[in-house]
Amino acid sequence: MQRGRFYLAYSSLKVPERTLGHRTQIVIEGPRRSGNTFAVAAFELAQPNPVVVAHHRHAGVHVVGGVRRGLPALVLVREPQDAVLSYVLYERGRITVRQALRAYARFYEDVLPYLDGVVVATFESVTSDFGQVVRAVNDRFGTDFALFEHSAENVERCFARIEDEHRRRFGRVCEERIARPSAQRAASAAALHERFRSEPPALRTRADELHAFFSSLDETVAVAA
């Protein structure tokens, strides 16, 4: 995939600390606003020693690169309307709903041929019991990453870490951009629902189909049982 090679080369120059490299131990990726920040924060907080994580490039080719190297890869999936509208709000008018929808679909379409090399977790699994998600990764790849104890205290630690990083980046808390629950963002997203529903049916249907298919691959239910 030539596009993937060019993307990884560019990303390595722009954000080498987040991009797949020779020291990477796991890839955690999903489309924007799919639980990426919480997943990475929870994963890193649980580890007794630093683990090099490739994350937050929001590109399926990033996952593909990890799979081709034989690395553990965790793919996150969220319902398209929620992910897309949250992304549009984050970008503050710099992208359209249609552009965000296309990016959402392209992510999963790039990953489709490489499903044998990934673990999939839904947004709901990530935000309700991330420890089981890590267990599924360990079971699939034979790794021994420490499990996140999904307690109220640890979730608050994650949110505090996310907020601290957000303040460092933006200078203040911006409710429509911060990667934690926000009543203000939820209200703003609700106001955009009609715009989402006005997008071409074929594009929305494709996003829904990809969401349903990838959600069906979530292994954490079987692990918990």
Per domain, the residue ranges of the chain are: 2-220
Name the architecture of domain 2-220: 3-Layer(aba) Sandwich (3.40)
Which has the minimum average pLDDT: 14-18, 23-27, 178-182?
14-18
What are the backbone dihedrals phi and psi of residue 19, each rounded to the nearest 5 degrees, phi first? -100, 145
**pTM of the predicted model, to two decimals?**
0.92
Mean pLDDT of 38-56: 97
pLDDT band at residue 222 under the 50/70/90 scheme: very low
pLDDT band at residue 2 under the 50/70/90 scheme: low
The Cβ of residue 72 has, within 10 Å, a number of other Cβ atoms equal to: 22
Mean pLDDT of the chain, nearest integer: 92
Which string of DSSP letters, residue by residue, matches the chain? -HHHHHHHHHHHHH-TTTS--TT--EEEE-STTSSHHHHHHHHHHH-SS---EEE----HHHHHHHHHTT--EEEEE--HHHHHHHHHHHHTTSS-HHHHHHHHHHHHHHHGGGGGG-EEEEHHHHHH-HHHHHHHHHHHHT--PPPP---HHHHHHHHHHHHHHHHHHHSS--TTTSSS--HHHHHHHHTTHHHHHTS-HHHHHHHHHHHHHHHTTB-HHHHH-
Q: What distance in Å separates the CA atoms of residue 163 and residue 144, rounded to the nearest whole number? A: 29
pLDDT of residue 16: 76
pLDDT band at residue 73 under the 50/70/90 scheme: very high
pLDDT of residue 13: 72
pLDDT band at residue 3 under the 50/70/90 scheme: low
Segment 118-168, tens digit of pLDDT: 999 999 999 999 999 999 999 999 999 999 999 999 999 999 999 999 999
Identity (one letter) of the amino acid at 58?
H
Nearest-5° Cα angle at 165, 164 to 168: 90
Q: What distance in Å separates the CA atoms of residue 29 and residue 27, rounded to the nearest whole number? A: 6
Question: How much of the chain, in percent, has pLDDT values that exceed 90?
Answer: 79
